[in-house]
Structure 1
Amino acid sequence: MNLEHLRIFTHAAELGSFTKAAGALGLAQPTVSRIISELEEEWGGPLFYRTGRGATLSELGQEALGKAQALLRDFEQISEDLRAFGRLPNGNVSIGLPPSLIPSVLPDLLNQLLRDRPGIRLRVYEGFSEQIERWLSDGTLDLGIASKYGTDDKPHEHPPKGGALMLSSRLVLAGRAAGWTLPPEIDFPQLAGIPLVLPAIPNGLRMVVEAVAKRMKLKLSIIAEVDSILAQRELVLNCGCYILKAPHTFAVEEREGLLASSVLRNPCFNRHAVLMTGQQPLSRASRDVAGRVTAILRRLSRR
């Protein structure tokens, strides 16, 4: 017995005629009769009752038909899966990114997909970590990058469930390069009196900065609460204020001499980028995108 024998048997059963089955399969009628007889001999009983108007299934034949159809369906699915494996991944992938990582991650990711995976279409959601985690939990996103903050004396403990730590960086104080006089590294207490622009609570960065300031009994001069990265940039360049950021955020502005920065210390502040997945198993396209995002973040960490 082989799969071709099962196909011949199922055709004969479904059509109720050896002659019709032979015609549908492009075989001679005696060939169909011979194979059915061989199956009956192997399975130990008649599969059909022959009548003048065709053939009807016996009790054994009815049992055999259900099992043969299931086996053929499984084989077809295996064949389709293997054929699909040889094709490039395709489909929609929803990914959430924090504003600070969009310039560093998104152009590189999209250019790779356009070059290597034209069948994958990104749906990009911009949001802070709390939003991204909500979108992952409710199924809006397939993938998301969340930012977790800590200090050297109180590091962020572990990536959340379903997350993998991809990138760690020390935060810096940044401001307009023109007239910059601060040293390469500054102690956190030196922020007192410096006009700061920070995101609003419950942003993770804001909360860890506030916690350290409270512990040190330090009063910060927060002149504006601004969540938008682009708005922060405009305020720094045009209003003489300062922001706290990861080194790769506004890297172009620093290379062009528009912004300058000093690394915070005592304590050092760390930003951890965590790649997270949603509740459902990832598709091949989502796994492909996740691998590319991981590689991009790891390249950033080596800079």
Structure 2
Amino acid sequence: MALDLLKMRYFAKIAELGSFTRASSELGVAQPALSSHMRALEAQLGVLLLNRTPRGAVVTEAGQTLLSHAQAILRAVDQAEAATKEQAKYPTGDVSLGILSSICPTLTVPVIEECSARFPKIRLTVSEGDSQALRTAVETRMHDLAVTLESVAKSTAVPLFDETLYAIGPQGRFSRDEVLTVEEALGLPMILPTRRHGIRILLERQALMLGRELNIVQEIEGVASTKAAIRAGHGLTIFGRGAAYADHENGDLSAVPLSRPSLARRLVLDMPVNHPPTRAVLEVRAILLGVVSRLGLEGHWTCLPQVNAAGK
């Protein structure tokens, strides 16, 4: 029969104080009940644990053996309780967040700064990748969360925001009030990623619908490298607004939204299915939703209603 944790706690307190009366007072347990618990514990073990004397309770040799184990067990139980309460207040653990490469520079810093400030015991890892790589990482549970394209993510993914597509050129190439149709954009000398990328797929679909061909002068993987090539005068590109927002605002690059028709892509938050998220993952998710909402209000993209509500 397993030892009763409560009886061991009572026994340890009596042994510590050397008195049933004082132990009764500290524990808030009536002395007759305390005596009954000790008799039951001694009967269970078949040994005398305490000698009752006029001067108090004296621990026997068998009682000393139990006491040494009981103290270690009770200390471990108290530590487990404290650690559990600490986890509820300050969640810990590893969280892997994947973000689409084009918006990763925009989201990463505010998310890690807020996570570090609010939950310093969460170990957050942020990785960037294309939509196909992010889907695979979610399916294999390499990522706990992923901000990716709706067209690639699972149907269970949560919609985050719609991002208008812009033509991006070097400084001064486009004026702020300029209008550029999709058909006009297709004829620009463009630097684009390979065919697996969402924007490339979308543009090729538009070209097919209009009976046009894309004017691709360079294929470059990576937002930073593409921007460098644009600054060096090697061509233009098509980005989501979030990828070029800061560059456009500070005048480092020029940008104009595509119109007739206006093109946009929807980004979502994807997570593994049939795998309950930890408290740490849920906290990072809440931070991410808040950051997305805040950046949407600043003009990076158009947030969807549920994200605006979550970010309040």
Q: TM bucket by the smaller chain?
A: 0.7 to 0.9
Measure how far apart 1:144 and its partner are: 0.8
Is 1:256 matched with 2:250? yes
CA deviations over 1:228-283 (Å, ceiling 9, x no partner): 11111011111241111112213222122121112112222112121111242221
What SS does the aligned partner of 2:155 have?
A: coil
Measure how far apart 1:33 and its partner are: 5.0
Q: Distance in 1 between the 2:12 and 2:121 partners?
A: 42
The one-letter code matched in structure 2 to 1:290 is R
CA contact (8 A) 1:176 1:240 kept: no
Match of 1:88 in 2: 90
Among 269, 291, 298, which residue is 1:296 paired with?
291
Match of 2:167 in 1: 173
TM-score, normalised on structure 2?
0.70
Question: For the aligned residues, what is the CA RMSD?
Answer: 3.6
What SS does the aligned partner of 1:249 have?
A: helix
CA contact (8 A) 2:146 2:271 kept: yes
Q: 1:183/1:32 Cα in 2 relative to 1: closer, same or farther (>3 Å)?
A: closer
What SS does the aligned partner of 1:248 have?
A: helix
Q: Distance in 2 between the 1:205 and 1:192 partners?
A: 12
What SS does the aligned partner of 2:95 have?
A: strand
Q: Distance in 2 between the 1:107 and 1:147 partners?
A: 21
Q: 1:79/1:95 Cα in 2 relative to 1: closer, same or farther (>3 Å)?
A: same
TM-score, normalised on structure 1?
0.72
Q: Distance in 2 between the 1:8 and 1:248 partners?
A: 59
Match of 1:233 in 2: 227
- Structure 2, unpaired ranges of 5+: 21-30, 50-73, 300-312
CA contact (8 A) 1:21 1:32 kept: no
Match of 2:307 in 1: none
Match of 1:59 in 2: none
Matches within 5 A, 1:9-20: 9=7, 11=8
Match of 1:68 in 2: none
CA deviations over 1:61-84 (Å, ceiling 9, x no partner): xxxxxxxxxxx9xx9899568613
Q: Distance in 1 between the 2:202 and 2:103 partners?
A: 19
The one-letter code matched in structure 2 to 1:272 is R
- Structure 1, unpaired ranges of 5+: 13-17, 41-46, 56-71, 150-155
Match of 1:283 in 2: 278
Most deviating of 275-284 and 286-295? 275-284
